[in-house]
Amino acid sequence: MMQLTAFKNTIDFLKHARVISIMSAVLVVLSLVCLGVRGINWGLDFTGGTVVELAFSKPADLPALRADLTQDSVSGAVVQNFGSTRDVLVRLQAKTGIKSELQVADVMAAAQKLDRSVVQKRVEFVGPQVGKELAEQGGLAVLVALICILIYVSFRFEWRLAAGAVASLAHDVVLTLGVFSLLQLEFDLTVLAGVLTVVGYSLNDTIVVYDRIRENFLKMRKATPYDVINASITQTMSRTIITTGTTLITVVALFMKGGTMIHGFATALLLGIMFGTYSSIYVASYLAMKLGVNREHMMPVEIEKEGADQPSIMP
Amino acid sequence: MLNKYPMWKNIMVVLIIAVGFFYALPNLFGEDHAVQVVGTRGAAVTTATQGKISELLAKDGITVKRSELENGQLLVRVKNADQQLAAKEAIAKALGDKYTVALNLAPATPRWLEDMGGSPMKLGLDLRGGVHFLMEVDMGEAIRKMEEAKIADFRSQLREERIRYAGIHRTAHGIEIRFRDADTMDKAESFLTSRNGHEMGFSEQDADGKFLLQATMSEAYLKQVKEEALQQNITTIRNRVNELGVAEPVVQRQGSDRIIVELPGVQDTARAKEILGATASIEFHMVDERADLQAAANGRVPAGSELYQRRSGGPVVLKKEVMLTGDHITSAQPTFDQYSRPQVAIGLDAKGGTIFSNVTKDNIGKPMATLFIEYKDTGEKNPDGSIKMKKIEEVISVATIQARLGRNFVITGLSHPESQNLALLLRAGALIAPVSIVEERTIGPSLGAHNIESGMQAMIWGMAIVLIFMVVYYRAFGLIANLALVANLVMIVGIMSMIPGAVLTLPGIAGMVLTVGMAVDGNVLIYERIREELRAGRSVQQAINEGYKNAFSTIMDANITTFITALILFAVGTGAIKGFAVTLMIGIATSMFTAIVGTRAIVNAIWGGKRVKKLSI
């Protein structure tokens, strides 16, 4: 039997929990401050505007292209490489009184001056109104997801655990957003999808630990909550490492091979999964303990074993 | 006996997985180059047309792989891209402009598979290239039109009932009718309420000796008007998209006032925009002959009339009442009169014919004007960010009604390209309210192909490493988990192909890759549990049983929560994100099945019900 983590004895995860959770709290505060000060680099999906992706036949001379984009319609354009030295992304702000077609035509004219065989690979235009609505909807979606999960977990487990779970999810979301804000990575719709997926995924880890906590409270009759939680985290550790590992492998594959259009998505997942795994231990469980979860709280769940009979999934 | 599935359960597992594999099968066959022929307005593709096309292509030396006629749509499959272009040109030339002929890529699914409902996954625009528009309907304009129609109604109703009113006009809050005394106003209120009560609410406002009756649309009616405007615009845009000759277009509503249009494979976005967004329509009005043009030009227009400009120059005063709107037009063809002047021959539907016939009968010898209305994007924005549209109204012709006209007549006074464009727009139906493009995304076809490729790369790398790891770490059980993983992936593809609305997008592929990583979670939970039970000194059979049993509720809880977030993503997401949510949801469902029931069936078959000393786990 090959073992990554053959723990004979229970590891005292909670020993440093106080220090680590204070660190977590500091990180959350720092993220919030960063979000407040630097804000988020909202992508086209949320701000509105126009994006043109060009494919040059030879490595593109970005300074020359920038210098050419001086007409009124396209001034303030952001020009950057996208994936390779031949691929260039031009971002234009929506301007009153100027049609997006005209902006695109001006960009093409400038690009053709440098390379006659330049190809337009992608053009996206989003009205500012649409973007604003999306941002509102997106924020709402994250909120609704958190609330739904709070309801589900309090129904399946217990409110103290639910509070711990939601706090850890909020922690993951805030930290992920914090990194996006700190590094000023572009935040578009796919990133939002990534963040929401993180909410779902990071809960997986929390639930696995909680399930074990519930089970151990019933099994280890004399143990303190502190011991029960430590034992539960230890017992589920190898599973956590393996599944986080396999998920990270696939996400890294997406990050490296998936192409530029889902880079943001993969980045959000990558960050979120790492924060999520850590927070399921140090935020979710620790908070549940601090809220005073104990054996009595776990008693009524006995009935729910009814549905846990494995063969019942088949008709 | 422990760890034995009854025979029916084994059969069920095999059957479900087999069905998944079967419906995933069509994705292996690729696509044929094809030409799609659809009849527009009146013309229909029949078996005769099909025969004619087959003959034509045989003569040109183009090999037809298969030619199918379904729902009035003909799909001719040919060998390659060159033949496809040649075939399109030949067909378009032979059939004329009553048919739209478009290039298409048709799935090369074999007939027998297709007959059993098999078809490959549909690819989103980000994977096959094309253009996506989000259009917004100007509801203010739809309401204005409806209020004007109501004013005309009120006029004739009050006239019919011989109730004298002093004036009637639109205000910011609805319609205002003025009366000379309170009695008439009361009478009018009760009469109008009895006639229009379910649509409009009336309230009296007498102040300073003025007697005003305020009519406002009820909430329900307002909603209905908006709903109808949206629906009608969708129908119109769908017609216009058909005129463009695009294969497999998508026209869908989004929310209460937006329409999504997706045109796969379209590169000429400028033309597409022009046709989709143009909101030309026509209205027929009687000319107000009593009006003094000089006075009108100075701002003294008689009540109930309005000043317009002729396209040829010069003012003309028309009655506000619309005799007929463009909505009733069923056909419009650009033709020429005997002096070779361009004109548009118009055909009306039955209701329009009746209205028009009555109007012309009562007005023989009087001049009638054709008013051309067009909304143009000014390029400017309103303070709320929506696009400012400019309304252009021009009288394109004034003709004296010679005789009672029926359902067919002509509009003159246009230049050649104008008659062509007007005919096209009228044929496709008028938009009841102007639309503006609020979002546009164009993906080049090469980028689409590139996206598929990189998605696949990520999939292969991610999957390979996970598969290797599982075998190394869990040995025989790892191999079983891997079988489940592959089956899971094939089932996702199968179900995606089966569901008509499911579309594969780039984030969708990402969703599949992610599912590979997350799906092993179920098996890891079970296996770790089995190992624990073995360590605790249980027998092999007991350990397997306990492992599966104890891990079940954990797997359920973990997956349900992910499912909830996927569902929320599906609800708020658009386009590509919806694609991600769909694959994620399907992936969760299939991975639960393969990881729990599928692997159990294999484990039971191998180790179940006999003496086993050691497990390869």
**B389: closest CA of chain A, how far (Å):** 12
Nearest by CB: B440 against A125, A138, A256 = A125
ipTM: 0.85
B384 contacts A129? CB cut-off 8 A: yes
Q: Is the per-residue pLDDT at A303 higher than 70?
A: no
In this prediction, residue B16 carries a pLDDT of 94
B561 contacts A207? CB cut-off 8 A: yes
Helix (H, G, I), strand (E, B) or coil at B434: coil
| Most confident listed range (A10-14, B240-244, B458-462) | B458-462
Residues in A touching B553 (Cβ below 8 Å): 211, 304-305, 307-308
B385 contacts A127? CB cut-off 8 A: yes
Q: Is the per-residue pLDDT at B171 higher than 90?
A: no
Q: Which residue has the higher pLDDT, A153 or A308?
A: A153
Of B369, B350, B368, B372, residue with least CA distance to B360: B368
Q: Is the per-residue pLDDT at A6 higher than 70?
A: no
Q: Is the per-residue pLDDT at A315 higher than 50?
A: no
A2-11, B37-46, B189-198, B319-328: segment of lowest average pLDDT:
A2-11
Tell me: the pLDDT tens digits for A55-98? Answer: 999 898 888 888 888 877 787 888 988 878 888 999 888 777 77
Provide the CA B567 distance to its chain's centre, in angstroms: 22
Nearest by CB: A258 against B458, B531, B558 = B458
In this prediction, residue A306 carries a pLDDT of 45
Closest residue, chain B, to A235 (C-alpha): B532
Q: Which residue has the higher pLDDT, B244 or B595?
A: B595
Q: Which residue has the higher pLDDT, A302 or B4?
A: B4
Classify strands A41-42 and A186-187 as parallel, antiparallel or unpaired.
Answer: parallel
* Cα separation, B468 vs B470, whole angstroms: 6
Nearest by CB: B552 against A48, A156, A308 = A308
Cβ atoms of B125 and B508 within 8 Å: the answer is no
Q: Is the per-residue pLDDT at A309 higher than 60?
A: no
Tell me: the pLDDT tens digits for A168-180? Answer: 999 999 999 999 9
Q: Is the per-residue pLDDT at A288 higher than 90?
A: no
Nearest by CB: B617 against A1, A148, A245 = A1
B462 contacts A196? CB cut-off 8 A: no
| Angle in degrees, CA B120, B124, B126, rounded to 5 | 135
Tell me: the pLDDT tens digits for B577-590? Answer: 888 899 999 999 99
Chain-wide mean pLDDT for chain B? Answer: 84
Closest residue, chain A, to B600 (C-alpha): A311
* Cα separation, A41 vs A47, whole angstroms: 9
**A208: closest CA of chain B, how far (Å):** 6
Mean pLDDT value across residues B437-457: 88
- A28 shares contact with chain B (CB less than 8 Å): no
Q: Which residue has the higher pLDDT, A53 or B390?
A: A53
**B422: closest CA of chain A, how far (Å):** 24
* Cα separation, B230 vs B253, whole angstroms: 8
Contacts of B560 (CB under 8 A, 6+ apart): A152
Cβ atoms of B24 and B494 within 8 Å: the answer is yes
- B393 shares contact with chain A (CB less than 8 Å): no
In this prediction, residue B49 carries a pLDDT of 86
Residue B18 in tokens: 């087999």
In this prediction, residue B247 carries a pLDDT of 76
In this prediction, residue B399 carries a pLDDT of 77
Q: Is the per-residue pLDDT at B379 higher than 60?
A: no
A246 contacts B553? CB cut-off 8 A: no
Q: Is the per-residue pLDDT at A314 higher than 60?
A: no
HEC assignment per residue over B10-73: HHHHHHHHHHHHHHHHHHHCCEEEEEEEEECCCCCCCHHHHHHHHHHHHHCCCCEEEEEEECCE
B441 contacts A125? CB cut-off 8 A: yes
In this prediction, residue A256 carries a pLDDT of 93
- A235 shares contact with chain B (CB less than 8 Å): yes
Closest residue, chain A, to B545 (C-alpha): A310
* Cα separation, B491 vs B512, whole angstroms: 11
- B22 shares contact with chain A (CB less than 8 Å): no
Residue B555 in tokens: 């797997």
- B389 shares contact with chain A (CB less than 8 Å): no
Phi and psi of A265, rounded to 5°?
-60, -50
- B561 shares contact with chain A (CB less than 8 Å): yes
Helix (H, G, I), strand (E, B) or coil at B354: helix
- In this structure, what DSSP letter does residue B386 have? P
Helix (H, G, I), strand (E, B) or coil at A284: helix
Mean pLDDT value across residues A249-275: 92
Q: Is the per-residue pLDDT at B537 higher than 70?
A: yes
A138-147, B63-72, B94-103, B468-477: segment of lowest average pLDDT:
B94-103
Mean pLDDT value across residues B77-105: 83
B6-15, B181-190, B295-304: segment of lowest average pLDDT:
B295-304
Closest residue, chain B, to A251 (C-alpha): B514
One-character DSSP codes across B89-115? HHHHHHHGGGEEEEEEEEE---HHHHH
**A258: closest CA of chain B, how far (Å):** 5
Helix (H, G, I), strand (E, B) or coil at B280: coil
- B371 shares contact with chain A (CB less than 8 Å): no
Helix (H, G, I), strand (E, B) or coil at B215: strand
In total, the C-beta contacts within 8 angstroms joining chain A to chain B are 257
Provide the CA A78 distance to its chain's centre, in angstroms: 26
B565 contacts A199? CB cut-off 8 A: yes
Nearest by CB: B438 against A99, A130, A152 = A130
Residues in B touching A211 (Cβ below 8 Å): 553-554, 557
Tell me: the pLDDT tens digits for B394-434? Answer: 887 787 787 788 888 887 776 776 677 677 666 666 677 77
Of B578, B583, B575, residue with least CA distance to B130: B575
* Cα separation, B455 vs B121, whole angstroms: 15
The A residues from 241 to 260 touching B (CB cutoff 8 Å) are 242-243, 245-254, 256-259
In this prediction, residue A37 carries a pLDDT of 95
Q: Is the per-residue pLDDT at B288 higher than 70?
A: yes
| Angle in degrees, CA B220, B223, B229, rounded to 5 | 140
**A17: closest CA of chain B, how far (Å):** 24
Task: Using the structure block, give the residue that is written with the tokens 């994620």.
Answer: B584
- A77 shares contact with chain B (CB less than 8 Å): no
B465 contacts A1? CB cut-off 8 A: no
| Most confident listed range (B30-39, B299-308, B502-511) | B502-511
- B549 shares contact with chain A (CB less than 8 Å): yes
Q: Is the per-residue pLDDT at B459 higher than 70?
A: yes
Residue A304 in tokens: 């729910």
Mean pLDDT value across residues A300-314: 48
Residues in B touching A4 (Cβ below 8 Å): 473
A243-247, B182-186, B349-353: segment of lowest average pLDDT:
B349-353
Residues in A touching B386 (Cβ below 8 Å): 127, 129
Closest residue, chain A, to B520 (C-alpha): A243
A307 contacts B380? CB cut-off 8 A: no
In this prediction, residue B231 carries a pLDDT of 86
State the best of A249, A252, A302 to mutate against chain B, taking most chain B CBs within 10 Å. A249
* Cα separation, B198 vs B217, whole angstroms: 9
Tell me: the pLDDT tens digits for B32-87? Answer: 888 888 776 556 788 888 888 888 888 888 888 888 888 778 888 988 888 888 88
